[in-house]
Structure 1
Amino acid sequence: MRTPSGPFDRGHTDDLMTYLAASPTPYHAVANAAARLEKAGFQQVAETDAWDGTTGGRFVVRGGAIIAWYVPEGAAPHTPFRIVGAHTDSPNLRVKPQPDMGTQGWRQVAVEIYGGPLLNSWLDRDLGLAGRISLRDGTERLVNVDRPLLRVPQLAVHLDRSVTPEGLKLDKQRHMQPIWGLGDDVHEGDLLAFLEEENGLERGSITGWDLMTYAVEAPAYLGRDRELLAGPRMDNLLSVHACTAALTEVSKQDNLPYIPVLAAFDHEENGSQSDTGADGPLLGGVLERSVFARGGSYEDKARAFAGTICLSSDTGHAVHPNYAERHDPTHHPRANGGPILKVNVNNRYATDGSGRAVFAAACEKAGVPFQSFVSNNAMPCGTTIGPITAARHGIKTVDIGAAILSMHSVRELCGADDPFLLANALVAFLEG
């Protein structure tokens, strides 16, 4: 494989591993992306404040979503945007409003299934607990118990002989509640009291929470030649990390013909319909305010949006060696083969022929190979934030990503070179 001509190499993948390990929840992923942007000179702005259109980098944080943009010198009100989009959430087990439960001498935490996880991948894993808490004084903070705390124990084969011939069948309510200790008496408030003690808070301080479990095993290179990367939440923090790196890189340049934008949304895994999801008003509001802050009118906004292009970056399926028949027979994306262009004529992906040309040009400029992905006609096709972004804002959108195995598993697998190949392609796209 030839070395890409962009700024990123395998060190980008090393940094991705650090980012994955430090981002067990969408809130942590956003906080870490924001820290990287601030280091690059971007400034956070509040949605409740008045904005100006001066040159420089800005970003807005709302819950598990972040929108960042860079206004180059001399940008006109009608200057189009170039957007790299992704999502911050991943399928997992999330704590219920009344979390304390247990039976038969085991203390358990009540969880609800978020998104569409491969449930079997969560069995017999050492799980931590992280998320966002709201305090009685009106403040919020992120918490992370980054050690083995919970576990969803699998039933021994001796107690279910049907497992071997018929396969494992898990009931989402009965079989997925993790244990976290021993005791016959379950008291309401035990989990919150534990978190308060862990974080040096007074008893009764926590009045609201968005908590989720995650596997504490660190990301790692894998394979004879360390050519693979195994880790959690690559769907889709691999893209969030690449988009953040690309935006900070192009912000160093002068005379950009477009306004580069990062849009990382929450709640993609359950439909994107929230104030922080791609189907909400966040992106459109930020772009519109950017136009108006530079003295623009509705006409300028219409012109800017008409010339805007978005790359929706999400993971896709690499061909599986044990299930090759599940893939389209002529489209077999491979690990370390470069980013994938995702196509579906029924608009589950937003890519069309002109969008393909835009992405092909970016990859050629970056010296990055790319591959095409379509679903087997007999298999249902997933979707992304791409079609939602295109329909909601009238913006030309192209669906791309990195090819992985074990999508929606607690631990996914990709080629170790693909993250930096994707990031280099994103840089070339944002440069225009």
Structure 2
Amino acid sequence: MFDTLSDRLEGVFKKLKGQGRITERNIEDSLREVRLALLEADVNIKVVRDFIEHVKSRALGAEVLRSLSPEQHLIKFVATELQNAMGGTARELDLKVKPPVKIMVVGLNGAGKTTSIAKLALWLKSEKKRHPLLASTDVYRPAAMEQLRVLGAQAQIPVLDSNEKQDPIEIASRAMARAETGGHDAILIDTAGRLQIDEELMDELARLKTALNPHHIIFVADAMTGQEAANVAAGFHERLNISGVILTKLDSDARGGAALSVRTITGAPILFAATSEKLDGFEIFYPDRLTSRILGMGDVLTLIEKAQQNYDQTKAKELERKFKKNEFTITDFAEQIKAIKKMGSLGELMGMIPGLKKLAGAADSEEAKVELERIQAIIDSMTHQERGNHLIINGRRRARIAGGSGTSVQDVNRFLKQFEQTRKMMKKITRMGAGKMMMRGLGLGS
């Protein structure tokens, strides 16, 4: 995620290392490179211009702290502006209205609109305990109606029966009537799209808005299209006054132009991000967490949330106790590998761990899978006593483990070193808290 931008920014920060103090010259040189990095990331030119001006005024202004190095200064101010560009803080979808809450989802064909509306409905059902009803008014693309029916069945969410011969306004009216009689406290309306904005599409959406009087109009943007996603969102916003944005394909976006442009260009907050093709690959958009990942500092909070969703709470508490007491064993490590496999893409998860972003890109490769199997074989070749206390594994035991697992002594040594590093890192996180760990990683902690 945003690997190209991350790599460019990392290069800028490295060049500032070793310089004793912050000066107008080194800030000017660095910001010239930051500007190029943002433009290469396909960020809107107005957003880039404002971004650079804000960082420059802060870096050379009264906010400068003598205790920080030039590199730490720039990271601090770039982090602040990245977060501000994406909206500052997470924005909650406002559901404090008289039910049923009516949500109209709009966007161009190919952006993932139909899949996104099903994901949003599932999120409302699982996270907000709502009873949503789905309906498609896309009478121009019959496959859209069938697609919504299939997705609704997968998510176990009812879908209003409709077909391409019916009028979109009539379908929306029936959806509202069905919600009243069926006890649905949320209606989600999928709408027609085009390959580009045209007057006919906008007129139909405007009529549908008048008939439905929705509480929210949410625009679905394809993150892979860069700043063009922001330009298209602005066109929809001008006619419909959108209240929020869903960014799709964010996990595949190496640049970040859409995420960094759409909030500033439209004024509408990014509410959600679609992070995989699966129906549950959908989450609240956190500007601060994404900023941390862009700067290579991981996203421990999201990692912890994923673990809580996929891990027995009693075991989780016991594991936390073991981390704090430094009692984490190889047996516990093996259980974590199994748990991680249930949590999703290994590459995505590694990108959330501070210091492991470089490995994230190759984490789902065949090489990484072979490495994981090698580790598992090494663990399986240990005795129960060795898994419980790795300190007893001497040279003779290492040779035996290597022979039993079909690996080398060097492989066993490397695994034991990795295990010890994991113990130390997790002990720090549980003692300091994830937030402090990230701040220290940015060079801003004490």
How high is the TM-score relative to the length of structure 1? Answer: 0.25
User: Which structure: greater helix fraction?
Assistant: 2
Decide which structure has the larger Cα Rg and report it: 2
**Which has the bigger relative contact order, CA under 8 A and spacing at least 6?**
1
TM-score, structure 2 as length reference: 0.24
